[in-house]
Structure 1
């Protein structure tokens, strides 16, 4: 669909803009005949960017690091999904009223239910950044009360552990948990640790399930090792697709069917 004067603009703000959201949203707009257009951007002036979203009538904006917490003071309202963790990854503009959501949190809560992860399990979560906060809080709120945050950054790790009522330690050595969760760049394609495991083979063997939030590739070294050990897995591709879907619904009020979602995910990945 060719953009017109009536085209509704949606966008994202990130320190390092990616292509998944652009391809996912625009594919669905085209397939569903919606007069919307999605553009990825970055900024060095967050207050001005958010003011522009409000003033120009941009309908929705995905928010990535380093803006997830900094944008909160610039908004009019927080959805419980964002208020629960003091982190925003989605802005919705309704006639100048900006409301913040966290669809990462919503996606993880849905995946916990879909994969029937048992809240009686103890958890080891590696990471302490914004996404780690969303995942850890989603686990906490789903009833996972026994957890360890593994993070080299002591200040951030201890802060997240306190938020969730978990323990902190700097390295994963010695941790035994029934649910292992990686929320670091370990295993990410193109990264310095692309071929590394976030947890040791012995820890994977001892676990009941493994969850890797890294989405590119979906088959990270951790996921491959877990599958080889016969463990159920939750992949980062599931997270990124589900959070993008929930953003799409918030922006448009339309929920695509399962076939349309699968096609949009495949297109966004370049399959």
Structure 2
């Protein structure tokens, strides 16, 4: 039985570059590919687990995993060809022709592919960063070979080609730190005590836990508006997403409104003074109606 199986596996199926390829070699190729890919996945998961345990960032783990898979795939292909005794020089002409045709037909794909590697290596954008691209805002979830996946503030996933992130203006809110300056404007009625208004706004800002004490908040008497005395307070916060900023500004407006109500300061609203100039002609009671 064993001799019969051995003879069957030694049967030549075809000849490739003067090398006879047997049935055993053909059956061995899938086993090598499947086994090698299984080992690659195991080693990749083990290595990324160790990196996360050491406190490495998500984008560093992602970059290592991508490089590891490419190197492992190259080694696996070379090993498979070595099992078949096929020299790599046999594919030199074919690979060159394929590369030229692929280059002309897939310029955008290659551009996005190279851009993806630049993003992962240079790290101007990292996994977990909060970006503002055109009119969209969201957090980076993954940087893939062709595109970057962003989850917008409304929960919708958006795929952006990697080349667009390098060619266009991108605002990265969290590139260096989470320090962000924002402001709240409020208008009070004419006749209000401006010094008192500024003190009330300052106290409300300092009582807000999310507002940083350094740099200190600054209250500006911004303008004599058409209907109000306009004040604006600038302050710094550690905000990770736009929703945090909106919540902080909302809480501060509540606090300012409560302080104004207690102090009797009136928040201004649009007003118009109408002056009627001219004489009103009275219709005589004796004159017939027109």
- Is TM-score (shorter-chain normalized) higher than 0.5? no
TM-score normalized by the length of structure 2: 0.21
TM-score normalized by the length of structure 1: 0.22
Bigger Rg, which one: 2
Q: Higher helix share goes to which structure? A: 2
Relative contact order (C-alpha < 8 Å, sep 6+): which is higher?
A: 1
